[in-house]
Structure 1
Amino acid sequence: MELRHRALQVLCLADPEQKAAAALELFAQAATLSIADTAPVAPTDPDALPGRPERPELLRHTQVARRSPATPEGRAILIHAIAHIEFNAINLALDAVWRFDGLPRDYYLDWMRVAAEEAKHFRLLRDHLRSQGHDYGDFPAHQGLWTMCEKTRHDVLARMALVPRTLEARGLDATPQIQAKLRQVGTPDALAAVAILDVILHDEVGHVAIGNHWYRWLCERTGQDPETLYGTLVQKYEAPRLKPPFNESARRSAGFSDAELRWLQQA
């Protein structure tokens, strides 16, 4: 079976561990698989995409409680929230693989690599939660990342602009701040979480770079200016407003230009 058909199958899996394992296995095989010329047919049941477990309970972003990492429960809630983001990121990468036609083979291989690395991140965080007496699904979560995925399902250019280089790039800004709070707590579990976030931040720079690369490639193919178009897409799809401070060094490593960083500060 072709890579894109397989990616859709993995996207439909509901069990988090099965999905993570399948994403890693599919990436290991990806170089030997053909790329489907046309997108696979999506399930008729809208709730089948993405496959997800019954827990965690999904709430609106404003309904999800925030707790101080100074307490063990607060740290567990924080790590759970990040684990949920990484689980959704597996889905986002798999969706980018199966949904869009007519792109270079490297596009599909890039996003399969992202799916596999997000699966690795999810497993690291879930193992950490379990070491603290909790598990994925124990706390409510929100579905903001997938909402933008649905909004951009008909436009790969908008998808590249607004998921990897907007929503996922927020993690480049937020992670060092989270790490600083955990270091201040200083407990063994907090410092173990800092080390996991080091791995995630390193990989996420690469993921955002992949988004930047394909966004600019698509802009060049369609004859559009990437910096001008970005602001238009942000307004059209009502993307979240990004707030400082920005991790400028990580964003530069991920391919953002000085002009784009200035636009973020002014916006």
Structure 2
Amino acid sequence: MSAPQSESLAQAIRAALLTGPARAKVFAARQVARDWRLGRLAAVYDVAMPDRPARPARPELLPPGKMPKRGKGGSLRGRIALWHSLAHIEFVAINLALDMVGRFGAEMPRAFADDFLSVAADEAMHFALLERKLASMGAFYGALPAHAGLWESAHATRHDVAARLAVVPMVLEARGLDVTPAMLDRVRAQGDASGAKILQRILDDEIRHVGIGTRHFVAQATRDGFDPPKRWQKLVNHHFRGAIKPPFNDSARSAAGLSRDFYGALAVLT
């Protein structure tokens, strides 16, 4: 038998989103995912999600154009900057996955909450691995400035689940599939076996995450009578400010169910 449900899922997610310290947010996200899986949370969406989740006082957030250069990739400074930027991406990804469920779960099938809470737990685990990696190099999350724009796509799509699915998993996370293999090659070339193992784990998990987003997007577009690729293209044109640029990791995207039928027509050749 499941435990008594004294708290709603929305209340638990809101509490996790409003948890600021990074390590505490990791624990909170994992706890929400575990409690949901074990039936301890009622499938009730009775509180609103915050417009912006809480975060630690550091890192300092800077506009993309004001971010300092990472330095040479092989130097200690350059390597720390790389792992710090990845840790920040994963920290924001915890909030993105939690907010996805808390904000849109009431209008979606139960599997939507199951899937995206599992994503939140994965992102929390990724952040913990990256935080440990930084510590092994004498650094920590917050030691460097970080990109301020990562939450903006979530904020801009806060009223539309289809737009959120189109932009966050199917554009931003899919971009991670494209850039991680080259990063993995560089880290292996540096002889960093532990770093390569972390990146491979993240890449494998992100294929699943993009697949989850794509599956729910396609299902909803189909339910609403839309052609999924055309619907995606329209939403991305409207809600995403950047460009869809090659090179693409077509095999990883295909494994996630994101075929060229979606992104090929929007690709900007450079």
With the length of structure 2 as denominator, give the TM-score of the two structures: 0.91
- Residues 160, 39 of structure 1: alpha-carbon distance in 2 compared, 3 angstrom cutoff: farther
Q: Give the residue type in structure 1 aligned to 2:62.
A: L
Which of these residues, 109, 116, 120, is aligned with residue 111 of structure 1? 116
Q: Tell me if structure 2 keeps the 8 A contact 1:162–1:239.
A: no
The CA deviation at 1:64 is 1.4
* Matching residue of 1:41: 48
- Letter of the 1:113 partner, please give it: S
Which residue identity lines up with residue 84 of structure 1 in the other structure? H
1 CA distance for matches of 2:103 and 2:250? 31
> 1:209-254 CA distances to partner (integer Å, 9 max, x unpaired)?
0000111111012111111122211221133212211111110111
Residue of structure 1 aligned with 2:254, choices 217, 239, 252? 252
**Identity among equivalent pairs (%):** 41
2:180/2:199 contact within 8 Å kept: yes
Q: Paired residue for 1:8? A: 14
Q: Deviations over 1:158-201 (max 9, x none)?
A: 00000011011110001011111222222xxx332111000000
Partner of 1:215: 217
Q: For the Cα contact (< 8 Å) 1:67–1:78, is it kept in 2? A: no
Report the 3-state secondary structure (helix = DSSP H, G, I; strand = E; otherwise coil) of the residue aligned with 2:143: coil
Distance (whole Å) between structure 1 residues aligned to residue 112 and residue 242 of structure 2: 26
1:41: Cα distance to partner?
2.6
Q: Quickly say closer, same or farther: Cα 1:39–1:214, change in 2 above 3 A.
A: farther
Aligned residue type for 1:132: M
Tell me how far 1:266 sits from its aligned partner.
5.9
1:53 matched to 2:56? The reply is yes
Amino acid at match of 1:28: R
Quick one: which of 179, 182, 195 aligns to 2:184?
A: 179
3-state SS, counterpart of residue 144 of structure 1: coil
Instruction: Write the distance in 1 (CA, Å) between the matches of 2:101 and 2:169.
Output: 13
2:88 pairs with 1:84? yes
* Structure 1 contact 69–185 (Cα < 8 Å) conserved: no
1:14-65 superposed Cα distances (whole Å, 9 cap, x missing partner): 01100101111221111202211x451345xx5xx21100100000112112
Residue type of the alignment partner of 1:85 = I
CA distance in 1, matches of 2:114, 2:10: 10
- List per-residue Cα deviations over 1:142-162 (Å, max 9, x = no partner): 132210000000000000000
CA distance in 1, matches of 2:240, 2:124: 28
Q: Which amino acid aligns with 1:57?
A: E
What runs of 5+ residues in structure 2 fail to find an aligned partner? 1-6
The size of the alignment, in residue pairs, is: 259
Structure 1 segments unaligned to the other structure (5+ residues): none
SS of aligned partner of 1:145: coil
| 2:66 aligned to which of 63, 66, 73 | 63
Q: Could you tell me which residue of structure 2 aligns to residue 22 of structure 1?
A: 28
CA RMSD of aligned residues (A): 1.5
Asked if the contact 2:232–2:262 (Cα under 8 Å) also holds between the matched residues in 1, the reply is no
Measured in 2, the distance between the counterparts of 1:264 and 1:134 equals: 39
Q: Secondary structure at the match of 2:150?
A: helix
The question of 1:136 aligning with 2:141 is answered yes
Q: State how far apart, in whole Å, the 2-side matches of 1:104 and 1:256 are.
A: 21
User: Do structure 1's residue 145 and structure 2's residue 150 form an aligned pair?
Assistant: yes
Paired letter, 2:144: F
